[in-house]
Structure 1
């Protein structure tokens, strides 16, 4: 076996190792498809992992690695962040301004280093890490996936969606993807995805991929509408707690007031915030936001 082949095998073994130890269980067919290898190569790789001391488990056709096994634990201490290390890294990453390209570069480098390790656990909630890993892999491979059991708040339905994942929003809160059925680019909330199913099928509509803007109130659209709001201290505190990305558009004013001078993609998000604090927020502009809220208030009287 040549040097290049040795390097590829080592890289593949590390990727398989990290995937199998991430808490999920996978069939031989799934892993062969993930890494484009034959079943013979897969079984040779699993034997290699067992021979070097990893507790590779197999039951009912599924494979995984028991990280609690004493022989495996020492190496996992090197491969993964401890809880305290993850906390420190999380604090450091989130201290970087969202508009700073270095922040996303740092996240990308961590993914390059660990692929399926605990990078997402540093950025997203623990229960969503598997979803993020699967989607990240599909993006890198430019392949379609199925979002199984996706809950849509617009239609109030749960269904499976065949999509072409494009990119993540800030901190992996949502996914930009091309919806094959509707032939349109949409945003899918990570928390509403039950499971991701790899299809192994390449992109078919890459020329139509387009990620739109997302405002600080998490509304997405192609347009950007300038908005100015004067906030009391209470409104300021609630805004920064519920929508941290709004901080960069806020400036201190006299009398413990704060000016929000930013933009939104639509009035639904900012409208909900203002309606909930109507005595704490003054709309400076635009007038169209005032009209939008007046119509909402009129609905209560019907």
Structure 2
């Protein structure tokens, strides 16, 4: 029996380290376990040093978990080595069976999709390099042919870039013409030209923060609460970024101290598990919940 259990654990581990995501139902079906046992395995993986990532209804194990890092350092390629190898074989004969086998293995175990469009990737790298230089020396830039899906326009923007965001995919800038801080997606920039002008509005630069519930704003609001075992487990699964803000309160409860950009995400979580959560603060958040409960009550009567 123990060997069967270990076999299922290993099968689940291998399945969740593939370069794809699975729903809980798909994992149960593939491994042949119940949903309840699946959550037991999830707890075991966390305790063993694995990072469980939940995206919507899909689950996977983070390749950068401490356990995997130790394993990769011993027997596997580093990410830089895998990228170099993928680039080397990209110029070889596609009909070569050995080349295709290596490419398949790299694509299966490494997230190298960023290399699929070489031309676009070169332009993206160029834009990032120019923005990095401008931020370093506090210079203004001209973003050429920026494609905005909101206004459905392609225009040039004169801005003061001051911070990269989201793994260098976005850049935070101050736009003098509008007097606003804005976040621009680097992939939507046709080109970036450095202007021979230093920042003039550094005192107006404002960072954009993204909270654990993926809401963005320039300001953050602290919230505190005591979570029961159910709400603590669900928070770890549904909002992994919030797990680092939890500390043990007693044997059965956890305290959550978290900064949020909006009360919508955390409010939805609290209202859905109200009997298992004691809200400590802040007063503004308590008032938000009170008004929300009153509106729900009035709608039901």
TM-score range (shorter-chain normalised) is: 0.3 to 0.5
Tell me the TM-score normalised to structure 1 length. Answer: 0.47
Tell me the TM-score normalised to structure 2 length. Answer: 0.47
